[in-house]
Amino acid sequence: MNLLFLFLLLLFFPSLFIAQTTTNSPAPAPTTLALDSTQLNLTHILSTHGCSAFALSLLSSTSAEKAFNDVVEGGFTVFCPNDDVWSEFSPKFKNLTPPAKTSLLEFHGVPIYMPLPVLKSNNGDTNTLATDGAARFDFTVQNEGEDVTVKTSITTAKVDGAGVFDEDPLVVYLIDKVLEPEELFTADVMAPPKGGSDVGAAPSSDSPAESPEESVADQNADGNSGVRVEGGDQFHFMAVALCAWMGFSLL
């Protein structure tokens, strides 16, 4: 009787047994092409690939870190100064204002994914994460044989190899110099050198300036000398006339 009842249940209500079997089986993990949360930790990637000094500065700039993280999933390329280079530049970086620090950090990022083949085919001007309307903040990518350089009007940095990290959508290149944009550092470059030729043409600051009294005295001396010249001519004429009169008187 019990077997017959179970048979009838299986015959007319198979879903009861199928549902039970499905419930007990583990659900398959979803597949995704996106990087996991650890891999998307940009500062962690930089720190473990020779850019720990740059990553530390990035962490100290909330605006720049947010800008980096906002674009990384859509494709991002970082030109990262190696630790020795950034540490040497650090005193100059500390003297910048907070907005300038943000712009300089963002200047080292390009908001597209540029693996080496793309980078080598991309000779010319390239916008950066710092580019904002009139604020160009761009640099020039130049390829010469196997060498790839990134140039501003102030610095030229060489790209080291094929990238220390390259996994779509992120690629990180090490560079041997800090990229200095002209928008931030032109004043330093254009400052006139000390002791230039223009300075030599100007009056020396070590020479004492002529006092007003000395100037007035010189003017009076010039005036008096003119009077003396005129008086001497009159005296000479009168002397000649007197001699002539006396000569006629003797005759």
CATH code at position 83: 2.30.180.10
- Domain contains 215: no
Q: Using one digit for the tens of pLDDT, what is the confidence trace for 189-222?
A: 444 445 544 443 333 333 334 443 444 444 444 4
Task: Work out how many domains the chain is built from and give that number.
Answer: 1
Q: Is residue 6 part of a domain?
A: no
Q: What is residue 229's predicted lDDT score, i.e. its pLDDT?
A: 37
Is 220 a member of any domain? no
Does residue 198 fall inside a structural domain?
no
Instruction: Show the tokens assigned to 159.
Output: 């790209």
pLDDT band at 186 (very low <50, low <70, confident <90, very high): confident
Domain-located, residue 192? no
Residue 61 CB: number of other CB atoms within 10 A? 19
Digit-coded pLDDT (tens) for 5-42: 555 555 556 555 554 444 444 444 433 344 554 457 99
Residues in the chain: 251
Residue 98 covered by a domain: yes
- The strand pairing partners of 175, in sequence order, are 81, 159
Range of the structural domain that residue 180 is part of: 42-187
When the pLDDT of each residue in the chain is averaged and rounded to a whole number, the result is 74
In terms of pTM, does the model score above 0.75? no
Half-sphere exposure of 146 (CA within 13 A, CB side): 3
Q: What percent of the chain has pLDDT over 70?
A: 58
